[in-house]
């Protein structure tokens, strides 16, 4: 085992203990009250999780994707919402770390790694989600900077975050449109940046998903990611690859929590003179749940390993995201069914797993989009040329 492996393993163990001691006992209470998990987030800061994917050169932990995915699974097993504050924060870190200029890395990464700056990704708009190229927010050159105008929807960390990677059009008529999209590092504080509202949600409660509005909001030119216009689409899409590993790992975590509750309950609950785990209908459910979870985890590991090796992994990240999140949805419903009536009550966390899981089908790119990516990559991989024999 390399030194890195044992350090990373001990961090995973610390996170596991933190989840058992500090997250699971309070999760349902905070979630039902829709209360922000301040103490938990403070604990993340102590554990260094805000710097998970920031290089040690800039004060981060520089974790490999495999370790990071394992940590995300553990956290989501405790409460999916708590991944929110570090999820898109880590995408912002990824984009800045990978594509930022040296000056941008030095200015932003140490604060982000320490959790003093809280990051987020401001991409989606009311009329541009899956079809990102439709985005309408503009960045217009003014003197030594840009003026941002437009609005963004669903921005996780919108209220408490202060440093976002924002996508805006620097060339409205670009053809194809993605060539006109640029990414900026924006900071709260100046005039013209408003948090319009927090959007109420079915699950994933306790953390904030906001609508943001920009009116002549000034961003210095040195905050254009990488110093080049028209690169934003590519930069953010690359960042979303790591987000997909993260969302897939959340799926494994939620599914595992739902499964663990189900297999314990099935051994205690008796009907017709025996524990329900001895009824074949329940046994089949448990077997399918566990098999799907194991397959999901292996897909996450496969995607993370490829990403760690620096190989192309859009196919693997989309497969992991698709399968693991559909698994979370299916397993949380099966867990609820195995629990019978009590699964539908708020006495147990099962209903929370069932309300949290659907976000995973949407966030990080919907599963319909993942299927489109997978199919396109497969056709590319198994390409048949006209000259090929029939
Ligand atoms: C709780 C929450 C937190 C979020 N956090 C963030 C964040 O921090 N930052 C951020 O930028 N965004 C965030 N999002 C936005 C999220 O990424 C988008 O909601 C998602 O990409 C889908 O976009 P949309 O909602 O506009 O749906 P649409 O794009 O309008 O899709 C509607 C439906 O049509 C389907 N569809 C669309 N195009 C096709 C197609 N070509 N073929 C087949 N089906 C298609 C979709 O799969 C979906 O089923 C968040 C969303 C939620 C709910």
DSSP assignments along 7-28, one per residue: HHHHHHHHHHHHIIIIIHHHHH
The whole-number average pLDDT for the span 52-70 is 97
Closest CA relative to residue 128, chosen from 119, 120, 138: 138
Mean pLDDT of the chain: 96
- H/E element, 197: strand 193-198
Dihedral in degrees, nearest 10, Cα atoms 175, 181, 367, 67: 140
User: Which atom, in ligand 1's list, is nearest to the CA of 367?
Assistant: 47
Whether residue 5 has pLDDT greater than 90 = no
The DSSP call for residue 202 is: S
Whether residue 343 has pLDDT greater than 70 = yes
Q: How far apart are CA 253 and CA 27, in angstroms?
A: 14
- Parts of the chain belonging to CATH 2.40.110.10: 119-229
Query: How far, in Å, from the CA of 237 to the mean position of ligand 1?
Result: 14
Task: Specify the pLDDT at position 303.
Answer: 98
Whether residue 1 has pLDDT greater than 50 = no
Do the beta carbons of residue 125 and residue 116 sit within 8 Å? no
Category of 266 on φ-ψ map: left (φ > 0), alpha (ψ -120 to 50) or beta: alpha
Q: Could you tell me what percent of the chain has a pLDDT over 70?
A: 99
Query: How far, in Å, from the CA of 143 to the mean position of ligand 1?
Result: 35
Ligand 1 binding pocket (C-beta < 6 A) is: 88, 120-124, 129-131, 154-156, 201, 204, 209, 359, 362-363, 365-366, 368-369, 372
The whole-number average pLDDT for the span 255-282 is 98
Contacts of residue 325, Cβ cutoff 8 Å, sequence gap at least 6: 247, 248, 250, 251, 357, 360, 361, 367
Query: How far, in Å, from the CA of 359 to the mean position of ligand 1?
Result: 10
Whether residue 141 has pLDDT greater than 90 = yes
Pick among 3.40.50.2300, 2.40.110.10, 1.10.274.10, 2.40.30.20: CATH of 119-229: 2.40.110.10
The DSSP call for residue 230 is: T
The DSSP call for residue 177 is: G
**CATH code for the part of the protein at 234-381:** 1.20.140.10
Whether residue 364 has pLDDT greater than 80 = yes
Task: Specify the pLDDT at position 386.
Answer: 76
- Active site members: 243
Rounded to whole angstroms, what are the CA distances from 303 to 64, 90, 150, 179, 336? 12, 17, 35, 28, 30
Q: Indicate which residue's Cα is closest to atom 25 of ligand 1.
A: 129
CB atoms within 10 A of CB 102: 7
Q: Indicate which residue's Cα is closest to atom 43 of ligand 1.
A: 368
- H/E element, 302: helix 280-308
- Parts of the chain belonging to CATH 1.20.140.10: 234-381
User: Which atom, in ligand 1's list, is nearest to the CA of 124?
Assistant: 11
Whether residue 285 has pLDDT greater than 60 = yes
- Architecture, CATH, for domain 3-114: Orthogonal Bundle (1.10)
- Parts of the chain belonging to CATH 1.10.540.10: 3-114
Q: How far apart are CA 111 and CA 122, in angstroms?
A: 19
The 10s digit of each residue's pLDDT in 84-104 is: 999 999 999 999 999 999 999
Rounded to whole angstroms, what are the CA distances from 292 to 169, 280, 287, 296, 388? 41, 18, 9, 6, 38
Task: Specify the pLDDT at position 6.
Answer: 84
Task: Specify the pLDDT at position 282.
Answer: 98
Q: Indicate which residue's Cα is closest to atom 26 of ligand 1.
A: 129
The whole-number average pLDDT for the span 57-78 is 97
Task: Specify the pLDDT at position 97.
Answer: 98
């Amino acid at each position: 085992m390399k030194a890195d492996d044992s350090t990373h393993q001990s961090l995973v163990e610390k996170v596991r203990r933190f989840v058992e001691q500090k997250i699971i006992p309070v999760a349902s209470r905070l979630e039902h009250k829709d209360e922000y998990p301040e103490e938990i987030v403070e604990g993340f800061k102590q554990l260094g999780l805000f710097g998970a994917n920031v290089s040690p050169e800039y004060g981060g932990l520089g974790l490999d994707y495999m370790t990071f995915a394992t940590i995300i699974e553990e956290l989501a097993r405790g409460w999916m919402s708590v991944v929110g504050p570090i999820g898109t924060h880590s995408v912002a870190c990824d984009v800045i770390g990978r594509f930022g200029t040296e000056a941008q890395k030095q200015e932003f990464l140490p604060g982000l790694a320490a959790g003093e700056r809280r990051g987020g990704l401001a991409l989606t708009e009311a009329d541009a989600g899956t079809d990102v190229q439709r985005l309408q927010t503009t960045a217009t050159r003014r003197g030594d900077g840009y003026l941002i105008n437009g609005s963004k929807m669903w921005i996780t960390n919108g209220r408490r975050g202060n440093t976002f990677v924002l996508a805006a059009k620097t060339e409205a008529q670009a053809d194809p449109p993605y060539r006109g999209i640029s990414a900026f590092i924006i900071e709260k504080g100046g005039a013209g940046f408003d948090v319009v509202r927090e959007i109420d949600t079915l699950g994933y409660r306790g953390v904030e998903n906001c609508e943001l509005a920009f009116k002549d909001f000034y961003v210095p030119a040195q905050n254009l990611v990488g110093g080049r216009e028209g690169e934003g689409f590519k930069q953010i899409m690359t960042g979303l690859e790591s987000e997909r590993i993260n969302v897939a790992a959340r799926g494994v975590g939620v599914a595992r929590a739902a499964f663990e509750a189900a297999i314990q309950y099935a051994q205690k609950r008796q009907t017709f003179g025996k524990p329900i785990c001895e009824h074949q209908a329940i046994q089949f459910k448990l077997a399918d749940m566990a098999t799907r979870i194991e397959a999901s985890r292996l897909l996450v590991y496969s995607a993370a390993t490829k990403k760690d090796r620096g190989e192309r992994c859009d196919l693997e990240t989309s497969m992991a995201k698709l399968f693991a999140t559909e698994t979370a949805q299916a397993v949380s419903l099966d867990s609820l069914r195995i629990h019978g009536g009590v699964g539908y009550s708020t006495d147990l966390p099962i209903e929370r797993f069932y309300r949290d899981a659907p976000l995973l089908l949407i966030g990080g790119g919907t599963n319909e989009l993942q299927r489109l990516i997978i199919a396109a990559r497969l056709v590319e991989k198994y390409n048949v040329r006209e000259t090929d024999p029939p």
